[in-house]
Amino acid sequence: MSQSGSRADAEDLLQDTWLQIHRVRHTYRPGEPVLPWVYAIARHVKVDGYRRSQRIRSREQVMSPLPEVFRASNPHPSGTPAFDAMIAELPASQREVLGMLKVSGMSLEEVARATGSTVGSVKLKAHRAYAKLRSVLNRSTPLAKGGSNAV
């Protein structure tokens, strides 16, 4: 633990060392001292772990924090419901797809990969979400009550 820096790292190194000892147990020569053989394996595991962590750190990219969403003091003066309230009426899968498509700007293929579904399924969920949002907007806007179907 004194060489690895933290208890969790030391436990990981210990587990990796035992696994490596098990993998290379056929290389031990009976009659030879065991401790130097075990220490050599432990040293190699430690060096390999250090190299692996350096490779990971060298490839990591620092991401800037996401910008905060600007909220106006009177976000919807026209009488339409708030976006969050409209979205809350959607099922979770439709909310997820709509968020990825419209808020995050992902393509249909990217959303399909991220959700583990097909492009057709993503299109269907998006279509149903749009239809549900239209019905919510039609219920709340004064023009819709007058017979206009412009929304």
Which strand (E) or helix (H) includes residue 83? helix 83-88
Name the CATH code of domain 83-145 (choices 1.10.10.10, 3.40.50.300, 1.20.1530.20, 2.60.40.10): 1.10.10.10
The pTM assigned to this predicted structure is 0.42
Cα atoms in the Cβ-side hemisphere of radius 13 Å centred on 125: 23
**Encoded tokens for 8:** 């969790």
Say if CB 97 and CB 115 are below 8 A apart: yes
Burial of 97 (0-12, 13-18, 19+ CB in 10 A): buried
Task: Quote the CA–CA distance of 45 and 37 in Å, as a whole number.
Answer: 13
Give the chain's count of helices (H) and strands (E). 7, 0
**Encoded tokens for 63:** 């991401």
Spatial neighbors of 133 by CB under 8 A, at least 6 apart, are 86, 87, 90
Q: Per-residue confidence of the chain (151 residues) as pLDDT tens digits?
A: 556 667 888 888 889 999 999 999 999 889 988 888 888 998 999 888 888 888 888 888 777 777 776 555 555 556 667 777 778 888 888 888 888 888 888 889 988 888 888 999 999 999 999 999 888 888 776 654 454 554 4
Domain ranges of the chain: 7-59, 83-145
